[in-house]
Amino acid sequence: MAHSFDCLIIGAGLAGAVSARVLADAGKRVQIWERRSTLGGNAYDEPDASGILVHRYGPHIFHTDNAQVFSFLSRFTRWRDYQHRVAADVYGTKMPVPFNLTSLELAFGKARGAALEQSLLAAYGAERKVSILELRQNEDPALSALADYIYENIFLHYTVKQWGQKPEEIDPATTARVPIFLSRDDRYFQDRYQGIPEDGYTALFHNMLDHPDIVVETGIEAADRLTFDDALRVDGAVFTGPVLYTGALDELFGCAYGRLPYRTLDFLFETHRREWYQPYATVNYTVTEPWTRITEFKRLTGQHNPNCTTIAKEISRPYTGAAGETPYYPILSPESNALYARYRNLAARWRNLHPLGRLADYRYYNMDAIAARALAFADRLRAEGA
C-alpha cells in the first residue's frame, strides 16, 4: 500500500505543529495523527461556559530570547503584550516571586530589609539571580537566616506539593528556574519577547496547520496503527519516510521496561460573579492550601468582562497512566533518566523514528525550547532531503 504522505507526525502540540509547518513549507506532504479531538497539545485554550477564554491544561505564557522562534510563531499570530507577574501568598501576605528586593522588604520591613539587601548585594552583586540551593550555602549568619526564611516560606511546601519531594531532592535545575532575584524587577520572566497570542493559542495552532500539504486527523491512537518489526510499518505497510513521535516514549512501546515517572495535575476551574478574583495573574500558595497556585485567566488574555472571571487551582499528584490522566512534568532523576535512555535506545532501532518534544524527549522544556528544537530538527530533515 502506498502512503499518501511523505512524513508522519504523531501529536499536534507545539513540537508536532512547528515541525509539520516547516516540512510542509519545504514541499513535503505531512500527515498528523492526534489522539485528542483538539489541536495545540497542552497549550489548547477555549471559551468556558461563561465565555471566558481559559487554558484547559494550565496557564501558558509565551516567553523567549530566541528571535528565530518568536518570528516563526509570529507568522501565525499577533501578540498581546504581556509581562507575567506572580505573587507568593505567605500566610496572607502577597510578595513577588521570584523572591526579590521588594519581597525582602515585605517580609522583613524597611530597616531589616535594607540591611539584608546590603549584605546580598555585597555578596552577589546587583541584578544577579541566585538559586535557593546556592543561597543556602552562604555562611554569613544573616544571609543564612534569610536563606532559611525563603526556603521555608517560598520553596519547601510548594515543592513538596508539586513534586512530592523536598527542594534538595529534586533536579537542581528545577528550583533554579525560580531564583532569588537581586532586583526590583518583579516580572516572572526577563526574556526579550513575551506575550499571549492575541486570539488565543488554539487559533495560533489552526493558523500554523492551515496548509494545503498538512492533513490532520484527530482521535487517532498512533500505537494502534504503527508496527515495529524489521521495519516501521504504518497501517501494515512499510513506511520509510520520517515519523516524528511527540508522545510519551514508554507508552509507544507498551511500557515494556516500566513506566517513566511523571507528575499529573488536576485543574479545578471556578467562575466567580465578580470582575476580578485576585490582584495577580498567578498566586502561588507557598505555605498553605492543597493547591500549588491559582491563575486568573482574564489577567493573561486581557479579555474584558465586568461580570465574571474564571480561575483555575492546580493540584499536583503522581501520574499513573489511568485513562484520562495527562502526563505533565517528567520527574527527572538519575534513575528515570537511565530508564528513559533504554527507551531512547529502543526507538533508535528504527532509523526513521524521531522522538521529539517535551514528552518524547523526557525534558522539562518551556514552550520556546520545544519550538526551537522542532525548528532545528525539521530544518535538519529538510537539509538531508528526507
Q: Which residues bind to ligand UDP, rule: CB under 6 A? A: 88, 97, 154-155, 158-159, 162, 174-175, 177-178, 284, 286
Report CA 347 to chain centroid distance, whole Å: 24
- Strands 45-47 and 282-285, by their bridges, are unpaired
- The grid coordinates of residue 301 equal 488574555
AA identity, residue 160: V
Q: Which lies closer to ligand UDP via its Cβ, residue 253 or residue 328?
A: 328
CB-side exposure of 97: number of CA atoms within 13 Å?
26
Measured distance CA(156)–CA(206) in Å, rounded:
40
Min dist CB 364 to ligand UDP, Å, is 7
Min dist CB 159 to ligand UDP, Å, is 4
Q: Which lies closer to ligand UDP via its Cβ, residue 91 or residue 229?
A: 91
Measured distance CA(90)–CA(289) in Å, rounded:
11
- The grid coordinates of residue 331 equal 520527574
Q: Which lies closer to ligand UDP via its Cβ, residue 144 or residue 174?
A: 174
Min dist CB 351 to ligand UDP, Å, is 33
The burial class, CB within 10 Å (0-12 / 13-18 / 19+), for 29 is: middle
By C-alpha distance, which of 274, 368, 383 is closest to 18? 368
Helix (H, G, I), strand (E, B) or coil at 316: strand
Q: Which lies closer to ligand UDP via its Cβ, residue 70 or residue 158?
A: 158
Min dist CB 282 to ligand UDP, Å, is 9
Min dist CB 113 to ligand UDP, Å, is 19
Q: Which lies closer to ligand UDP via its Cβ, residue 89 or residue 105?
A: 89
Q: Is the peptide bond before 98 cis (omega within 30 degrees of 0)?
A: yes
Q: Which lies closer to ligand UDP via its Cβ, residue 24 or residue 61?
A: 61
- Report the interhelical angle of 201-209 vs 14-25 (nearest 10°): 30
Min dist CB 65 to ligand UDP, Å, is 16
